[in-house]
Amino acid sequence: MNQDYGRFSAVLEENIKLIEDIFKGDSILRKRKISFCSGYKGCLFYFDGMVNVSMINESVVRPLIMSKDSLRDRPVAEWVGYELLFASEIVLTEKVEDTVNSMLYGDTLLLLEGSSTAITINTKGWRTRGISEPENERVIQGSREGFDEAAMFNLSMIRRRLLTPDFCAELTRIGRRTNTIVFICYLKSLVNRNTLRELKKRLSKINIDSVLDSQYITEHIRDSNSSVFKTIGSTERPDVVAARLLEGRIALVVDTTPVVITLPYLFSENFQSDEDYFINYKLASAGRIMRIFCFFLAISVPAMYVALTTFHFEFLPTAFALTVSVSRSGVPFSTLAECVILTVIFEILRETAIRMPQSVGQALSIVGGLVVGQAAVEAKIVSAPMLIVVALSGICGLMVPRLRSAVFFARFGILFAAGFFGIYGYLYSIVLFLICVLRIKSFGIDATQSLNSPSFQSFKDVFIRTSWKRMIKRPPIQENDIIRKK
């Protein structure tokens, strides 16, 4: 919520009172009056914890106190700012609003007697979590660096990987009250200008009071809010962001969150692992095919089981049909209800295990998965084959974490269709599901481009990951410089 506080006056006491009034009641605002060069007066303002105090002492306080210089024929603010201070970055401004914003982001404000120009000095120095490997994107080979919550720090990690003046990071602020800093990053020669224009348009339309995480922005700028599919990517890894920028995509680095948004997002990215590009391409391709297969198993297995056992029992081999019959005996619920209940229980266990501390989570998995499962089968609350079916579906779903919400909703949708209409219901719902997949758009680009207009080149990083030697073109996201390898 930006306010226009007007401009500073030339009277130091008035300016001090103005700043104190703006931050009235704020206990972490620090003020330090200072006299320098025999007769000049000034006052420093900064927020404790946001600044590097030793930097203030060395770059601001010490040079001012130690200086024996005297004002020559120039304004006092310019003299102090350009000749006395040791700071690497200073900004002279008369607008109160600018200085307030800078202070809030870790700068120090220096007000001077007889000057209506204030000096903001870059003394940012808050503590960060530091570089650590992202929990959700662990790799065996490859970089271990992960983003932390400081946007500047994150930008430095991206820039270290893209040592080119082509890299551009535009600053914008979103959130009426939080004024969250967001950097729009892209490579100038590769970015799709239409996508960039569209992104800026959507960002400018965001009118929310706070942005505390990148998800706030994601939900505002995505193509369809009702879609269960991801249409905007996210990562905590700088190497992934760099790779996506090199494909002509755009990244949004949001301050206070380690999750960086990337867009446009292709459907095939759901099956890609960060590690695919660091290991042997044949192994990576096998892993990718397995992930696609597991995705279909995750949404299909419970539905197929329910359809076959309740509508098309004759399709099952006799020995298996006998096993199902025997194990179903005494179970009080219908097959469909049993499947729904078990799937919900699985989701509860999974959700609980994620939220728990790691040691408790593991114990919970064992108790939930083995002990309760075994007891439930023995107590004839559920049947053993159903337990296997739901567990298989659940485990397969974990193979594609980026499609978590799609798997969750599709699994239930297809299950109910199969439960009420048998194999026809299953097939219809799968066809509907595929239609929905083919209709996904991300910033005006078909997320399933390689399927809609198939070509050998476009498949090279979709179902499989070919060797870098053969990956000649970039994904068809941008129009410029499509050739990756010459």
Partner 1 sequence: MKPSFILPVLFLFLVGCNGMSDPNEQFMVSSIGFMRTGAKVSAFVQSVDVKGGEQNGIPETFVVKGEGDSIENAVKNTRSKLSKKLSLKHTELILISDTLEKDDLEEILSMSEDFDVSLRAKIASCNDIEKLLKNDSASSGLGLISVIEQNAVSAGFGGHTALFEIKTAFLLGEEFAVTYFSSGEEIGIEGLYYYKNGIPTDILNFEESIRYSKEKNLYKGE
Name the residue nearer to partner 1 (CB basis): 293 or 313. 313
Least distance to partner 1 from the beta carbon of 423, Å? Answer: 7
Residues near 55 by beta carbon (within 8 Å), at least 6 away in sequence: 87, 123, 125
Residue with tokens 């929905």: 436
Cα–Cα distance, 205 to 465 (Å, whole number)? 38
Nearest to 262 by CA among 271, 253, 270: 253
Least distance to partner 1 from the beta carbon of 336, Å? Answer: 8
Name the residue nearer to partner 1 (CB basis): 119 or 342. 342
Q: Which two tokens stand for residue 412?
A: 């239930």
Name the residue nearer to partner 1 (CB basis): 178 or 323. 323
Angle at 68 between CA 106 and CA 94, to 5 degrees: 40
Nearest to 397 by CA among 347, 359, 354, 357: 347
Least distance to partner 1 from the beta carbon of 306, Å? Answer: 10
Q: Which two tokens stand for residue 211?
A: 């942005």
Name the residue nearer to partner 1 (CB basis): 169 or 423. 423
Name the residue nearer to partner 1 (CB basis): 43 or 303. 303
Least distance to partner 1 from the beta carbon of 328, Å? Answer: 4
Q: Which two tokens stand for residue 344?
A: 């919900």
84 class by beta-carbon count within 10 Å (0-12 exposed, 13-18 middle, 19+ buried): middle
**114: DSSP letter:** T
| In 105-179, alpha helices (H) | 151-161
Least distance to partner 1 from the beta carbon of 327, Å? Answer: 9
Cα–Cα distance, 450 to 471 (Å, whole number)? 14
8 A C-beta contact, residue 185 and residue 218 = no
Nearest to 478 by CA among 314, 254, 247: 247
Please give the single-letter amino acid code of residue 302.
P
Please give the single-letter amino acid code of residue 304.
M
Cα–Cα distance, 275 to 49 (Å, whole number)? 38
Least distance to partner 1 from the beta carbon of 431, Å? Answer: 8
Neighbouring CB atoms inside 10 A of 432's CB total 14
Least distance to partner 1 from the beta carbon of 449, Å? Answer: 23
Name the residue nearer to partner 1 (CB basis): 230 or 328. 328
Footprint on this chain of partner 1 (rule: CB under 8 A): 309-311, 313-314, 316, 318, 321-322, 324-326, 328-331, 334-335, 419-425, 428, 432
8 A C-beta contact, residue 81 and residue 109 = no
Cα–Cα distance, 110 to 117 (Å, whole number)? 9
Name the residue nearer to partner 1 (CB basis): 328 or 402. 328
Nearest to 349 by CA among 331, 373, 328, 383: 373
Name the residue nearer to partner 1 (CB basis): 64 or 339. 339
Least distance to partner 1 from the beta carbon of 425, Å? Answer: 6
Least distance to partner 1 from the beta carbon of 422, Å? Answer: 4
Least distance to partner 1 from the beta carbon of 45, Å? Answer: 60
Cα–Cα distance, 344 to 389 (Å, whole number)? 13
Name the residue nearer to partner 1 (CB basis): 330 or 401. 330
Please give the single-letter amino acid code of residue 107.
D
Name the residue nearer to partner 1 (CB basis): 101 or 323. 323
Name the residue nearer to partner 1 (CB basis): 76 or 418. 418
Nearest to 119 by CA among 65, 45, 50: 45
Query: DSSP for 205-220?
Result: T---S---SHHHHHHH
Least distance to partner 1 from the beta carbon of 158, Å? Answer: 43
Least distance to partner 1 from the beta carbon of 225, Å? Answer: 18
Q: Which two tokens stand for residue 129?
A: 């979590």
Name the residue nearer to partner 1 (CB basis): 328 or 350. 328
Residues near 119 by beta carbon (within 8 Å), at least 6 away in sequence: 77, 80, 81, 85, 90, 91, 92, 109, 110, 112
